[in-house]
Every structure is written in C-alpha cells, then in structure tokens.
Amino acid sequence: MSPSMWFNGLAAASARTPVEIVLLDPDDHLVGRLRFRACPACRTGRILDIWVCDAWQHQGLGRELVHSLLAYHPGYRWNTTLQTRDGRAFFLAMVQETTIALPHGGPLCCHLTGSFRRTWRTLLGHRTPH
C-alpha cells in the first residue's frame, strides 16, 4: 500500500518559516519528508532537506515529494542546501527529469535569508574603509 502525502504548514506565516510535505504509511507513521521555505513575493524557494525512511527508499517517494513541491509552487526558482554525494546525484536526476534548476547554496531573496545572515550582510555592506 502506498503512503499518503500531507502538506504541513503550507500557509506559513513568514517566508522564513519552514514548511513540510510529509509522507505517512497506512498506519500513519512518518516515512518521508521534504522541508522547504518559499517566498511568494519573489517566487523563490529553498529545499532545506528531503528524507525517506530506509525501508521505503528506492520506490520514487523522494521524487514524488519534489514533484509535489514543484506543482504547488509553479514557476518558482529553487535552490537547495549543501548536499551529500547521494543528494547531489538525486537532485541532478531531478534537474534532468523536471528541467528545473536546483543549484545548491545559490542566492536567496532577502525574505528567505535568516536574520543573522541579513545582519551580517548589512554590517559588511556598510563598512567604511580604514
């Protein structure tokens, strides 16, 4: 039996608030999750992480999570956090399948950048030369 997909927090209060798409098995146990942040004003988003339980891997569930995300946010520019070797292979396959770029660590809009990073960039940008 296939797992069910649920969106958790799709109406996030802020673009900085992570949102999850979760997969539950028939007994309502978590078997997969994709966490992301999205900015509707700038139409950008970052995939924070994707995870599928070992027992459910190699069944296309990670792929379905990414397709669901892209369907819910059509036309957005996406990037990912730094990836493991397996993660790079997975996202490369997703880029080839979807023809949507999924670079890691690319620039984000100001709404998706955390407060520490925004403050740091502001301080660096306003430094006066000695």
pTM of the predicted model, to two decimals?
0.77
Q: What is the dihedral of CA 55, 61, 63, 65, to 10 degrees?
A: -120
Q: What is the pLDDT of residues 85-107, one digit of tens each?
A: 888 889 899 999 999 988 887 66
CA–CA distance, 84 with 76 (Å, rounded to integer): 24
SS3 of residue 72 by DSSP:
helix
CA–CA distance, 111 with 114 (Å, rounded to integer): 8
Question: Where does the pLDDT of residue 116 fall: very low under 50, low under 70, confident under 90, or very high at 90 and above?
Answer: very low
Q: What is the pLDDT of residues 26-36, one digit of tens each?
A: 888 899 999 99
The letter for the amino acid at 61 is: L
